[in-house]
Amino acid sequence: MTSISGQKRIMLWAVPRSLSGAMCRVMLNSGLTTKVMYEPYAECYHLGPERVSTHDMKFQPDPSRSYSNIKTKQELPYEGKELVFVKNQAYHLAPDRLTAEWIPDGFTHTFIIRNPRSTIISKLKLLKKCTGWNYDPRESGYQEQVQIAHVLQQLGHRLVVIDADDLMENPEGILRAYCREVGLEFKPSMIHWEPLSEPDFQETFLCGVWEPSWFDNVRTASGLYPKPKMAAKDTGNDVSYDAETRDLIGRSERENTKYYEELYALRLTA
């Protein structure tokens, strides 16, 4: 376990809609005094002076949200905290920053993956509900996950990978395996917890610019409960999708499956 004066520091590199928000709730219930950082690189991607996003955030670029500043923010010691847990979407690292220079130092680096078709369909539904944005295949995150993984391997890091479908099917088994790898003691409180109030959730999770409804499921959840794997059940071919959207789902799935399978071969099992 990477540490600063005994402090445990874990980074989770995610793809969208992969239970990464739930993993933040898991860590808040680790029994340790915990600092959670929720997608800090999103601030640079959407709102910083080096803005990459094509979405209209209705905010002016903020010089304080540069990639350099946000990387430094992640590396701060956060004295008084026994655990620092940072969740980043892999695609929030701009293409020219997928190098060791921009991967925060001092962390045990972990990954959460999920079947591409499941993440694509889930994100399409969420975008329609919350933002009105169009789905951008460039924001799938799978290729960026693999690029980050390759950089970490070159630096001598052992990759810790979990699959969201495995986590849904067997929460306790996968979390026990994850905890062993990152040097945490598994506790039943990591699986079952109380929903957060809106003010507590805003303070803990959000950057102050996101639509709260985007996170409803994370805020109101009361734990992880075993569910059968769903990847094969939602094909994306039902009548609620027009032909253009079905084609988009298929193309994005095909483009990302090879990256997903590379990390899937390394995933932890219970």
Q: Are strands 7-14 and 3-4 parallel, antiparallel or unpaired?
A: antiparallel
d(CA 27, CA 10): 10
Count of residues for the chain? 270
Task: Give how many domains the chain has, as a whole number.
Answer: 1
The answer to whether residue 22 sits within a structural domain is yes
The number of CA neighbours under 13 Å toward the Cβ of 206 is: 18
Q: Residue 252: exposed, middle, or buried by beta-carbon count in 10 A (0-12, 13-18, 19+)? A: buried
Residue 269: inside a domain: no
- pLDDT digits (tens), the chain, 270 positions: 444 668 999 999 999 989 999 999 999 999 999 999 999 999 999 889 999 987 766 778 899 999 999 999 999 999 999 999 999 999 999 889 999 999 999 999 999 999 998 888 887 877 766 666 677 878 899 999 999 999 999 999 999 999 999 999 999 999 999 999 999 999 999 999 888 887 777 777 655 555 566 667 777 788 898 887 754 444 445 556 778 888 888 888 999 999 999 999 999 999
- Asked whether residue 141 is domain-assigned, the answer is yes
CA-to-CA distance for 263 and 270, rounded, in angstroms? 16
Looking at the domain assignment, is residue 270 inside a domain? Answer: no
Q: With beta carbons less than 8 A apart as the criterion, state whether 138 and 87 touch.
A: no
Pairing between strand 108-113 and 83-89?
A: unpaired
Rg (CA), the chain: 18
Q: How many CA atoms lie within 13 A of 43 on its CB side?
A: 21
Residue 227 falls within a domain, yes or no?
Answer: yes
Q: Which domain holds residue 117?
A: 3-264
Instruction: Report the CATH number at residue 215.
Output: 3.40.50
pTM confidence score: 0.90
Of 67, 40, 70, 38, the C-alpha closest to 52 is 67
pLDDT for the residue 231: 45
Say how many Å lie between the first and final Cα of the chain, rounded: 20
pLDDT score for 232: 41
| Rounded Cα gap, residues 207 and 38, in angstroms | 8
Q: Which pLDDT does position 6 carry in this prediction?
A: 83
Contact 22/196 with Cβ under 8 angstroms? no
CA distance 153 to 209: 34
Per the CB < 8 A criterion, the answer to whether 84 and 96 are in contact is no
Specify the pLDDT at position 175: 98
How far is the C-alpha of 109 from the C-alpha of 115, rounded, in Å? 20
Closest to 38 (Cα-Cα) out of 14, 61, 4, 57: 14
Residue 10: HSE in the Cβ half-sphere, 13 Å Cα cutoff: 30
Does 235 map to a domain? yes
